[in-house]
Structures are given as structure tokens and as C-alpha cells.
Amino acid sequence: MANYFLEKQLEAIAVETGTSVRSLRNKIREAAVGLSLATACSGTDSPIVLAKHMGLETSFSCEFDELKRTWILENFPETQRLFCDIKSLKRDEVLNVVTGRKERVPSADIFITGFVCKSVSSENNERKTYKNCIQEGRGETGETFSGMMDYIKKHAPPVVIAENVKGITNRIDGEEPVILQVVEAMRKAGYHFEYRILNTSDFMIPQSRNRCWMVGLRRDRFSAEDVEEVFEMVQQMKAPKTMALKKYFAHFKVGTAGMPENRTLNPRQRKVLKAGLKKVPHRRPRDQVIVDVAKSEQRSPVQLQRTPCLVANSTMYWANQQRFLSAEEVLALQGIFTKDFKAARGKFLTKHRRLCHDLTGNAFSMSVCSAVLSAVMLKLAET
């Protein structure tokens, strides 16, 4: 399924450049020879699926949560190195949960990483306390970012791709956005570095999800123009039109495994639904209306034809069908399909439904990650 996103995105580049998808795929595979990819704090570890399609080797994964590590190991049984804490990657040796032994943390050519968003999220009422969290290494955001930078400074991967919430680009209490601290840290570490706000709904998935995607290319191998050109390619990969929710589920044959036990709205949720519907008074009967009923009446996030942004505590209600979205459906709204993640259907959708929702809220969107990574690989093919 991830291959579908990659194929469509390469088709867009082929049109722009007057070449073929096969030629672009060959360029990516040739560029991937001998290169390795490492991930940290990526949620579902979706970059590993993309790495397989592109011919990249996997260096290691890193995930703090024990149950999420189980997700990684059961969906990617070939994993050889899985570390527990991004803050420990600066050490010479770290516990590898696959072998149960302390092992050397290897270098990687491409480092795809998240860092905790809590301190800078617009949903955090105390975010102004962390307006200098990156510089000071404070809060969960600052601490995990420091872990990310420690690895980067020690191993100097040629390519760094990172993702965080849009709130990192917003001013906090009148101060400069935290993202500028990230820019400064990466440039001091020797990288040409740029960021863009990318919405998942522009990349073939019907979810309104704005995230800050960042790319750093090591200065001794790339130019500042190279980073700009990576994001120009990403821009070209935007879908001219995204399928509406119902069509999307039908196209990818998404089922309803992992439905909540209680399938009726409680009184508070009914009020949130009513408030959400009031925000779209001119909706047509055929419009698909989705409301996140986990939020307050004042917020009542609502979207037509797509879902509002999925976060870990979201509860999406499909008004037209008078039902909640299942765990299988919310995972699909991040491009996480059971065809690519075979252990999901056998265990996680039934026994760990809440984990699936948590993974969805914290995962990279597969289609956006595909666009950014494939653009980077095409740039590597040029150099």
C-alpha cells in the first residue's frame, strides 16, 4: 500500500521532468546501494516500509515505549537493532532489546527522527514555559531534541529528516518560534537546513494534519540549493485531488477491525457533535462529516470529506454513518495498512485498540514521509 503513494508521487515528478517512473525508481535504487537508514521516535516505524521499497538497508530503530517496541518487532521481525531511548544514542554502547546485550550504536546515512512535541504543542496550556526548550534542553521536547542532536553531532549522517507539530513554528508568548532554535542548532552542527508545513490531506490521505517537516543535508556534501530543491520536488508531489473518506476506505479495502466496545455517543459527545455540525451549516446531504468528539464543545474539530487532525486522544465520529471510526480506519488515515504491517490485524487491532489510536496520533504520515524521503533520494541520485 505504501508503494501506491510512492508510485503516484514519482508519476508527478516524471510529468514535471519528462522522464518515466521506471527511470526514477531505478535512480532511487541505484542511489540506495550501500546506504543505511535509521529511525527514532517515528511512531509506527513507517519509514522502514519505504526503505524496503527503495532498496535502503536498515541500521537501527529507537523507541521508548515498550508496547510500541513490540509493534516494531512483530511487524518487522528482521529488525537487528532496536534501542530504547533517543537520549542514550550518544553513548558508545546501548542496550539492544533484540539481543539483550549492550552494543555499539552504528552510524547511518539517513536519520529519520521525531522528537517529543508536548512542550511546543498548541494543545499544551503551559507551552509558554518552554519557549526556550530547545536551547535549554528543557521539557520532553528539549530533552529528546538534545538526544537527537547528540547522535547527529557524533555520527554526522549526511541526511537528517525530522517531523514535529505545526506549533513549533508559532510564536510563544510573543517570542520567536521554537523552530528557529532548531534551525540554529542544525546549522551549527554543519547542515543546510530547511523546514516546511505539509498537510497530509495534500498527499492523498483524507486527514487534515499540518506538520512541520524538516530536512538537513550535510554541508560538506550538499549546497543550500539542494535542500530547497528537495522541498520543490515535495511540492510537485502534492496530489491535485485527494479521495474523500468513503472512497479512500473502499479503494484500499480498509475494514472496521478494532471498533470501540461502546458504540453509542455519551451525552457530552453528543453536545460536541452538535457543536461541530453547527460549524458546517451549508454542508450537502452527500458530504461526509467527521467530528472529533473527544474534544470540547468550544473546539469541536470538524471536517468535510476528511477527518480533522488525528491525535492520540482523538475519538472520530462519522456523522453520516452514525458511528465511530475503527482502529483499522484511523491507522489507514496515516497510511498504515495491514498489508504493510501484517502483525496489526492479528494482534494489535483487537487486543491493543487504544495503542493503535496512540500510534496514529504520534506517527509520521506515510504519504508525506514517502514524498520527503523519495525527494531526498532523487537528490542523492544527482550527487
Alpha-carbon gap, residue 81 to 77, rounded angstroms: 11
In this structure, which amino acid lies at residue 166? K
Buried b (16+ CB within 10 A) or exposed e, 325-344: bbbbbbbbbbbbbbebbebb
Give DSSP secondary structure letters for 180-213: HHHHHHHHHTTEEEEEEEEEGGGTT-SB--EEEE
Q: Which amino acids are annotated catalytic?
A: 117
Kindly report the backbone phi and psi dihedral angles of residue 302, in degrees, each rounded to the nearest multiple of 5, phi listed first. -140, 145
Strand 36-40 vs strand 110-114: parallel, antiparallel, or unpaired? Answer: parallel
Cell readout for 105 is 550504536
Please say whether the beta carbons of 182 and 168 come within 8 A: yes
Alpha-carbon gap, residue 98 to 40, rounded angstroms: 16
Q: Alpha carbon of 233 to those of 5, 330, 376, 377: distances in Å?
A: 15, 28, 9, 11
Q: Alpha carbon of 204 to those of 68, 149, 186, 281, 322: distances in Å?
A: 26, 32, 30, 26, 25
In which residue are the cell numbers 452538535 written?
274
Give the CB-side neighbour count of residue 62, counting CA atoms within 13 A: 26
In which residue are the cell numbers 512483530 written?
74
In this structure, which amino acid lies at residue 35? L
Alpha-carbon gap, residue 115 to 16, rounded angstroms: 34
Cell readout for 294 is 473527544
CB atoms within 10 A of CB 106: 12
